[in-house]
Amino acid sequence: MRMATVERNTSETKIKLELELDGAGEYKVDTGCGFLNHMLELFTKHGGFNLGVLCRGDVEVDYHHTAEDIGIALGLAFREALGEKLGIKRYASIILPMDEALILSAVDISGRGYYASELDIRSPRVGDFDTELVDEFWQAFAANAGITLHVRQLAGVNSHHIIEGVFKSVARALREAVATDERFKDTVPSTKGSL
């Protein structure tokens, strides 16, 4: 079973996160931020993972530390759960529609954390969630997971739809990239021999 548990405690957040890559889309998420809960729940469902997140953060300040630190913890969990990365497909991409929004996400489980995005989120907030935290979350995730992640907005005007499209499309791309290829189940998908 490809699973990981991460506990991360700082003066700003206390996080316990459990991840199972080969799950059934089950989740129990409590971040202290309703919108972030919603994004992580649909990320889990569309990724086919199982995810448990309990976070107590300094939300009286804002959601910055909560979003970034959960991104860090989720990235660390992905890295640990993937282990030696034997037999994974490694690469995947998807163009996902979310009503009028159209989002492209591409991933490479390269061992090298890198995040690039082209998003035009017009509203500064969705509910009480600062939309600039979308990039903070994914930057933290990619760096700590050792995943190259590119996200592009091809269309869209509704900020909720754009962000939801990002979380769903990244989930779907990761679902494919972490899947095992039975033909190469005992090898690492790299000429270097490791990722």
CB 149 within 8 A of CB 138: yes
User: For position 186, what pLDDT does the model report?
Assistant: 79
- Per residue in 15-28, pLDDT (tens digit) is 999 999 999 999 99
pLDDT digits (tens, 9 = 90+) for 163-191: 999 999 999 999 999 999 888 887 877 76
Domain ranges of the chain: 3-184
Which pLDDT score, from 0 to 100, does residue 3 have?
98
pTM over 0.75: yes
CA atoms within 13 A on the CB side of 117: 22
| SS3 at position 125 | strand
Q: Which DSSP state fits 180?
A: B
Place of tokens 């996160």: 17
Going by pLDDT thresholds of 50, 70 and 90, the confidence category of residue 52 is very high
Mean pLDDT (the chain) is: 96
pLDDT tens-place string over residues 102-140: 999 999 999 999 999 999 999 999 999 999 999 999 999
Are residues 27 and 40 in contact, defined by beta-carbon separation less than 8 angstroms? Answer: yes
pLDDT band per the 50, 70, 90 thresholds, residue 194: confident
Quickly state the pLDDT bin for 159 (edges 50, 70, 90): very high
Per-residue pLDDT averaged across 137-163, rounded?
98
SS3 assignment, position 162:
helix
Whether domain 3-184 has CATH 3.40.50.970: no
Nearest to 41 by CA among 171, 179, 142, 151: 171
Report pLDDT for 108. Answer: 98
Helix/strand/coil for 99: coil
Q: How high is the pLDDT of residue 188?
A: 78
At residue 126, the pLDDT reads: 97
